Amino acid sequence: MTQIRSMAQPTARRPGELGVHSLDHFNLLVRDVAEAEKFYGLFGLDTREEGGKLALYTHGHPHRWGTVAEGTRKKMNYVSFAAFEDDMPRFRERLEKLRIDRLDPPKGFESNGIWFRDPDGTLVELRVAEKSSPNQKATFEMKGGDAGRQNAPNRSKAPRVQPRRLAHILLFTQDIPKAIAFYRDVLGLRLSDRSGDLIAFMHGIHGSDHHMIAFVKSDGPGLHHCSWDVGSINDIGVGATHMADNGFAYGWGLGRHVLGSNYFHYIRDPWGSYSEYSCDIDYIPVDQDWQAADQPPEDSFYMWGPNPPEDFAHNFEVIN
């Protein structure tokens, strides 16, 4: 009898070291949740109503990557990270040793996790959950067409693009060195690369993309973008075109980053932040110690692509 072997990859884990394994989900506050449902639905996400909030899934995947709730203004309400269950006592000891205040969960959010704030005041949850970060480099499709046939469908027949997972988020911070130190010393993330005190990228120690979270300098905290993994450059182009056809043409792309190496196209959302179609990002295996570098920004922002919009790095969550 032929043995049936599972296609699932075993969960990666670096033995003996303490660190989160995944960016579990985020919660974003906006003034109009119906507007968010429209935007994320057009973007290709599976949007659902759950407990009075808009839940963000990717089609065919059981994990909930984010929630959107009503607020008086746009705000990144909290970011949730996941850890292995047997690591939680050590995390609690670490928080006590570092004298980091434990907080109650936000009103209306049930949680058995640990809550605290980062140096910018952003609320962070640490919870037990299955590993949702990848255990290997994501698949990437890039091949030439076959001879003797039309290889591209008519535009009207182009399939809808559906992202596969949340890849990372980029947050605004007032102090890059403080953000690096906090997320390293508290959550066990490691620096992948940085450009001085302008931007920094951090990865998980149990196998993750080049970054599961990144930070860019600003006058205050906030969300710059959420990045969603797709399978090909063609998916990026088709997705961006679909969004433009539906009134969301403002953004940046197509291009390729240097730090992370991913191909990208950013779509401006109704609140001034972005959702990114991304593919083929660098991957850091569980058994590799990535050598972080401090790269000059003029040589490491993007390898090719159009110039970014002048307000690309503007933080619309800062109230002047």
For residues 262 and 251, the answer to whether their CB atoms sit within 8 Å is no
CA-wise closest residue to 159 among 237, 252, 86: 237
Inter-axis angle of helices 33-43 and 233-245, to 10 degrees? 140
Query: In angstroms, what CA-CA distances link 122 with 75, 78, 152, 289?
Result: 10, 6, 45, 28
Domain-embedded: residue 98: yes
Task: Please state the three-class secondary structure of 251-298 as a single string.
Answer: EEEEEEECCCCCEEEEEECCCCCEEEEEECCCEECCCCCCCCEECCHH
The total domain count for the chain is 1
For residues 76 and 122, the answer to whether their CB atoms sit within 8 Å is yes
Domain-embedded: residue 279: yes
Domain-embedded: residue 286: yes
Q: Are strands 213-217 and 165-173 parallel, antiparallel or unpaired?
A: parallel
Domain-embedded: residue 158: no
Domain-embedded: residue 118: yes
Domain-embedded: residue 228: yes
Residues 6+ apart with CB under 8 A from 248: 39, 42, 267, 268, 269
Range of the domain at 245: 22-132+163-304
Domain-embedded: residue 126: yes
Domain-embedded: residue 156: no
**Single pTM value for the model:** 0.94
Say which CATH number the domain at 125 has.
Answer: 3.10.180.10
Specify the amino acid at residue 289: D
Report how far residue 253's alpha carbon sits from residue 236's, in angstroms, rounded to the nearest whole number. Answer: 9
Can you give the pLDDT of all 320 residues of the chain as single tens digits?
333 333 345 677 998 899 999 999 999 999 999 999 999 999 999 999 998 999 999 999 999 999 999 999 999 999 999 999 999 999 999 999 999 999 998 887 878 899 999 999 999 999 999 999 999 999 998 888 899 999 999 988 889 999 999 999 999 999 999 999 999 999 999 999 999 999 999 999 999 999 999 999 999 999 999 999 999 999 999 999 999 999 999 999 999 999 999 999 999 999 999 999 999 999 999 999 999 999 999 999 999 999 999 999 999 998 75
